[in-house]
Structure 1
Amino acid sequence: MNLTLISQLLHAPRVGLNFLGRQGTRAVAASAIAGLMLPAFSQTLRPWIPHAIFALVVLAFLRVEPAEVARRFKRPLLIGVVVAWIMAAVPFAAGLAAHAFALEVWSPGLMLALFIVTAAPPVMSAPAFAFLMGLDGALSLAVMVSCVLVVPLSAPLVAGFLLPDALPLEPLLLARNLAGLLAGAMVAAWAIRKLAGPARITAARVEIDGINVVLLFVFIIAAMDGVVARIFSDPMLVIGITALSFAVAGGQIAAAYLVFLRLGRADAFTIALATGNRNMGLIVAALGGVVPDVTWLYFALGQFPIYMLPMILKPIARRVAASTSAA
């Protein structure tokens, strides 16, 4: 084997990651569909979900400039208002609507799903999606980290309001786990940045986006465990919950965009995307992974809006970013 062939083999992964990174939102949306087609791997990959989430957070910290994140935290009142909207206003408004229609009576499983999808912080990949859409990843990361830090306090309060019997969420244990995840990701990103150097990190932005796509693909395959069988046994339920999950995500995005529009269209869009895409897996894990079948089905199918809405909304995001730059 000559040196040229070895060089080509070593270069091939970078070419693949570049391709995935350039495809961005289209590749993420395609991975959601592909995840459904690989049910045999779902059970095998499910234990790797925490590792994929940790890696996504590392890449989020690595992808943004620390100075940009620090600049966002110089406006703590703004970040505080955004966190209050995402972690308190949205779930309590959803709870009022659900109680008005007695959702907890005719479908406790969907009521629990409503809690999971509104009490959870933004997905760990929110900064990655922001980058893929051409939005402000630093703002997205600042919002995501802040929401994750308050979820041990906010989730039990929301549970007490939404659910007939408050869930045993063990706030201290959840807080410790989340703090360890964030601290570990920050240290890992700092170490990589120090070893590689800022210039190399900047030059590898597209490859980093490609790695994000791969990690999101692993996650969606794992989340689809058992879903394919349910599609054949109860297709109308699957269609109904899928439509509901898109409606809930879209409603959260639209409401947040209108509320924060005065900040500028680009920032409002970034906040809206973080609001609509929630890290349901975090709450499911806090519940020990033991939830009713309907709740798990919503959790699994609720990944489709997370994976597909960035592609659907990307043309709008581009116009928003362009108009903001022009201004």
Structure 2
Amino acid sequence: MVQINHLTGALSWLGRQGTRAVAALVIIGIAAPPLGTLFKPLVTETIFVLLCFAFMRVDMVAFRAYLKRPGLVLAATAWTSVLVPLVFASGCLGLGLPAQSPHLFLALMLQAIASPIMAAPAFASLIGLDAALVLATLITSTAIIPLTAPLFASLFLGPALSLAPLDLGLKLSAILAGSALVGFGARRVFGLAAIERRADAINGGNIIFLFIFVAAIMENVADRFLAAPLFTLALIVLAFAIYLALLLLSVLIFWRTGRERALALGFLSSQRNMGLMLAATGGALPELTWLYFALAQFPIYLGPYLLQPLARRLLNRNGRRR
């Protein structure tokens, strides 16, 4: 019992570190390549566990509140699930990327096709954004990805993706349905009140599994940087540029709904769940695609830490939010 209390205390402390712990994951993952080698075979399982954590803590009251006024949620879902992939595809095709760098094109399109990360509501809450709106849009976007992902994969990727579009949709459905079943089952067994009492410890466990995922995909980043520093830096700049472009474009599109909602939806749209695509493809992706996915974690996990002061200032945290 004493050991369990110590473990729970350690997890709770880790969970209270919030955005700082999330940002540190990337640095530690790069600095410890042997851990990446150890964890790489566990990517699919790790993503599944992270999804279970997310479904276990879904705030159904907040979700139902937005569903009573579904207009904004439907518009945001259409943007992040349908229009974003079309924008990516138009840009990539216009630049001739499929011919010039098919593996980078594959990475960018899988990024665009992906739904937002399941941790987005928790990150939004840490920053001070409308987590309920983020949650509602996340659930609807995730629910339709088994339909949208195969469609866009068939339209734009074709033979570039080793997995058939139908198989991609089936695997996504299995991962999401299985994790939802486990997550909601745990919620029913333990009760929402008990889960909320242990929120910090659960956050700590979530961070540990996030670290396993980040370490796994960061396995070769240090070596690739030493071998081709300029190319690696260029990919990092590209990842940040796409992250910021999605964030700002989404904020502009939804600005009339209010600055807090616009920033929340911008943040959600920029947090693409590339890990889910890795899990669905079983990691059977070209080396350059893997490398871009790894480097694209920099803005995803550093973003909440970097955006927190800006969000507080923009939303006038000490006064009335607009």
**TM-score of the alignment, normalized to the shorter chain, above 0.5:** yes
Report the counterpart of residue 249 of structure 1 in structure 2: 243
Q: How far does the alpha carbon of each residue in 1:33-77 deviate from its partner, in whole angstroms, 9 at most, with x for none?
A: 000111112122122222222222222233332221222233333
8 Å Cα contact 2:271/2:300 also seen in 1: yes
8 Å Cα contact 2:260/2:321 also seen in 1: no
Matched, 1:15 2:9: yes
Matched, 1:48 2:42: yes
Report the counterpart of residue 266 of structure 2 in structure 1: 272
Q: How does 1:169-318 map to 2 (within 5 A)?
A: 169-318=163-312
Report the counterpart of residue 57 of structure 2 in structure 1: 63
Is there any run of 5+ residues in structure 2 with no aligned partner, and where? Answer: none
Of 95, 98, 113, the residue aligned with 1:101 is: 95
Matched, 1:141 2:135: yes
8 Å Cα contact 2:150/2:169 also seen in 1: no
Q: How far does the alpha carbon of each residue in 1:114-160 deviate from its partner, in whole angstroms, 9 at most, with x for none?
A: 21221111123222322332333333233223222322332344345
> How many angstroms does 1:285 deviate by?
4.2
Matched, 1:110 2:135: no
Query: Separation in 2 of the partners of 1:75 and 1:41?
Result: 46
Deviates more, 1:137-146 or 1:108-117: 137-146
User: For the aligned residues, what is the CA RMSD?
Assistant: 2.5
Query: Separation in 2 of the partners of 1:185 and 1:293?
Result: 28
Query: Separation in 2 of the partners of 1:241 and 1:136?
Result: 31
8 Å Cα contact 1:257/1:271 also seen in 2: yes
CA distance 1:321–1:14, change in 2 (3 Å): farther
Query: Separation in 2 of the partners of 1:324 and 1:61?
Result: 33
CA distance 1:165–1:301, change in 2 (3 Å): same
Query: Separation in 1 of the partners of 2:111 and 2:6?
Result: 39
CA distance 1:326–1:157, change in 2 (3 Å): closer
8 Å Cα contact 1:122/1:279 also seen in 2: yes
8 Å Cα contact 2:133/2:264 also seen in 1: yes
Report the counterpart of residue 3 of structure 1 in structure 2: none
> How many angstroms does 1:217 deviate by?
0.9
Query: Separation in 1 of the partners of 2:125 and 2:56?
Result: 12
CA distance 1:189–1:321, change in 2 (3 Å): farther
Query: Separation in 2 of the partners of 1:162 and 1:187?
Result: 32
CA distance 1:168–1:151, change in 2 (3 Å): farther
CA distance 1:260–1:48, change in 2 (3 Å): same
8 Å Cα contact 1:128/1:212 also seen in 2: no
SS of 1:152 mapped into structure 2: helix
Partner letter of residue 185 of structure 2?
A: A
Is there any run of 5+ residues in structure 1 with no aligned partner, and where? Answer: 1-5
SS of 2:317 mapped into structure 1: helix
8 Å Cα contact 2:44/2:279 also seen in 1: no
CA distance 1:321–1:151, change in 2 (3 Å): farther
TM-score w.r.t. the length of structure 1 is 0.87
Partner letter of residue 322 of structure 1?
A: R
Query: Separation in 1 of the partners of 2:66 and 2:160?
Result: 35
> How many angstroms does 1:301 deviate by?
0.8
Matched, 1:83 2:77: yes
Query: Separation in 2 of the partners of 1:219 and 1:122?
Result: 16
